[in-house]
Structure 1
Amino acid sequence: MSANVKENIATIAKPMLDELNMELVDVEYKKEGKNWVLRMFIDHPDGIGLEECSIVSERMSQKLDEEDPIQGSYYLEVSSPGAERPLKNAKDFQGAVGKNVYLKTYEHVDGRKTFTGELAAYEDGEITINIREKTRTVAFQVPERLIANARLSVL
C-alpha cells in the first residue's frame, strides 16, 4: 500500500478517533482475491469490542464517502489489533516493556534474525529483549532500525 493512502486514511480518521478516545494502531489496504480491503485496527484504553468497531466503521464510512480518498471500490473493515498487536513506533515499544514480544530483523543480530521473549527495555532506539534459553536468560540488544516486524507475542 502506498504510504500516501495510509497517511490519508490516518488524517481522516484521527479527529474522529480522538473524539472517541481511541487510537489508530495500523491501516492495511490490500487486494484479497478479487476485492480490495481497507482494514483499520483501532484500540482504546478499556479494549475494543464489536460495538466500538461498529461505531467507527459507520462514522468512517461516512467520512470516506464524503472525502473519497481511494479510487475504485473496496471493503472497509474495522477491528481490534488483537492479542498480537503490532509494535510500530517508540510509544508502542515503551508500552510493551515487561511483555512478551516477537521481533524479526532485516539482518542478523548476534547470529539470529528472530527473537521471542520479554521486552526488558526500550531506550534511544535500542530494544533489550530477554530470551529464556534452557537454564539461563540471555539479553539481546536490537537496534530499532533493523526491525522488520514486531508484535506482542502470546507464548
Structure 2
Amino acid sequence: LYVVDLTVSDSVMPKITATLDGPNGLGIQECAQVTRRLNRGLEEAYGEEAAYSLEVTSPGADQPLTDPRQYQRHIGRSLLLKLADGTEKTGPLTAVTPEGIELEEVIKVKSKKTTLPAAFFPFGDIKEATVVISFNRNIDRPTMMSILDDVFRTMIRKKFEDDSNFDVIVNPDNGDLEIWRNREIVDDDSEDIWDLDKIPLAEAQKIEPDFEIGESVAEPIKIEDFGRRAVLLARQTLIQRVKDMERDNLYQKYK
C-alpha cells in the first residue's frame, strides 16, 4: 500500500483523512486494519484523550490518478487525459513506464471512431488523468450504481432486517461486488450483544486476536450466503430495473 493523499483539517477537532491505494486497490478490511494501527499509533504519541477523527479511504473510481503507481492496474482501460497544453486525449492505456504512459488515442473521423497508434505522454505533461467508466444500454454511471446499490441493499434487508451497518461496494472497473457487515465490539456479558450492529469480544477475537472493546469489525458477506433463491430474485429485479430505465430513456429521447 502507498499514500495517495493525506489531509488534516484546521478545526477544534482535526479530521485526518488518509487516502491509500495499492497494486490491487484497497478493500474495506485493509482500511479497517490501517485505521486501527493509526489510531493506536496516535494514542501512543498524543495520549488517549487526544481529540481528532480519522478516516482511511481509497480513491473513488471517478477520482483522478495522482500517483504514477496507480496507472499500472488500469492498463487496457480507457483514460481521459487533460494535458498541460490544454488538450485532451481519450483512449486505452497500453503501457506504463517510470517516465510516463502510452495511450492509443481514439478520435472521430467523419462520425466514425478511429484509434491512432500508441503515443507516449510523460507524467510531467499530464495535468489530470481519470479512468473512463461507462455502462452499456445508455444508462449513465450514477444511475446504474444507484440501481445496483438499491438491489443489493434490498437483499440485505430481507436477510438481516436492517442494512444501515452494511457497506455495498460495486467496482465499476472490473464488476467486482463486495458486501461488508460492520459491527461494534462489546463485552461478552453486555446486554447489547443481541443488537444487529454489535459483536461480542470473544467472537471478534476469533477474527483477529488483538481486537478490543469499542473497535469496529468489518466482515465480508459472500453473495452465496444469501441463498440461491435470493440471488436469483436479485438478478431478476436488476434486469427488470435496467429494462425499465431503458424504456424511460427511449421515451424521453423520442417523446
User: Which TM-score band applies after superposition, normalised by the shorter structure?
Assistant: 0.5 to 0.7
Instruction: Give CA deviations for 1:76-105 in whole Å, capped at 9, x if unaligned.
Output: 11122232462512x333332212223222
Q: Does the 8 Å contact 1:37/1:76 carry over to 2? A: yes
Pairwise CA distance, 1:35 = 6.5
Cα distance change, pair 78–44 in 1 and its aligned pair in 2 (3 A): same
CA separation in 2, counterparts of 1:26 and 1:33? 23
Q: What residue number does 2:115 align with?
A: 137
Q: Which protein, 1 or 2, shows the higher relative CO under an 8 Å CA cutoff with sep ≥ 6?
A: 1
How many residue pairs align between the two structures?
125
Alignment of 1:49-128 (within 5 A): 49-67=27-45, 74-84=52-62, 86-89=65-68, 91-108=69-86, 112=87, 114-123=88-97, 125-128=99-102
Cα distance change, pair 39–119 in 1 and its aligned pair in 2 (3 A): same
Cα distance change, pair 76–120 in 1 and its aligned pair in 2 (3 A): same
Pairwise CA distance, 1:119 = 0.8
Q: What residue number does 2:125 align with?
A: 146
User: Helix, strand or coil for the counterpart of 2:71?
Assistant: helix
Which region of structure 1 is more displaced relative to structure 2, 143-152 or 43-52? Answer: 43-52
Pairwise CA distance, 1:27 = 2.1
Q: Larger Rg: 1 or 2?
A: 2
Q: Which amino acid aligns with 1:39?
A: T
CA RMSD of aligned residues (A): 3.2
Q: Which amino acid aligns with 2:122?
A: P
Instruction: Give CA deviations for 1:2-47 in whole Å, capped at 9, x if unaligned.
Output: xxxxxxxxxxxxxxxxxxxxx1241231548986432223346665
Cα distance change, pair 37–105 in 1 and its aligned pair in 2 (3 A): farther
User: Helix, strand or coil for the counterpart of 1:81?
Assistant: coil
CA separation in 1, counterparts of 2:133 and 2:100? 22
Which region of structure 1 is more displaced relative to structure 2, 122-131 or 28-37? Answer: 28-37
Greater fraction strand? 1
Which region of structure 1 is more displaced relative to structure 2, 115-124 or 36-45? Answer: 36-45
CA separation in 2, counterparts of 1:36 and 1:123? 38
Greater fraction helix? 2
User: Helix, strand or coil for the counterpart of 2:44?
Assistant: helix
User: Helix, strand or coil for the counterpart of 1:107?
Assistant: coil
Q: What residue number does 1:27 align with?
A: 5
Q: Which amino acid aligns with 2:93?
A: L
Pairwise CA distance, 1:142 = 1.7
CA separation in 2, counterparts of 1:47 and 1:127? 19
Q: Which runs of 5+ in 1 are unaligned?
A: 1-22
Q: Does the 8 Å contact 1:42/1:80 carry over to 2? A: yes
Q: Which runs of 5+ in 2 are unaligned?
A: 135-255
Q: What residue number does 2:192 align with?
A: none
Pairwise CA distance, 1:74 = 4.4
CA separation in 2, counterparts of 1:34 and 1:154? 39
Pairwise CA distance, 1:124 = 5.3
Pairwise CA distance, 1:61 = 1.2
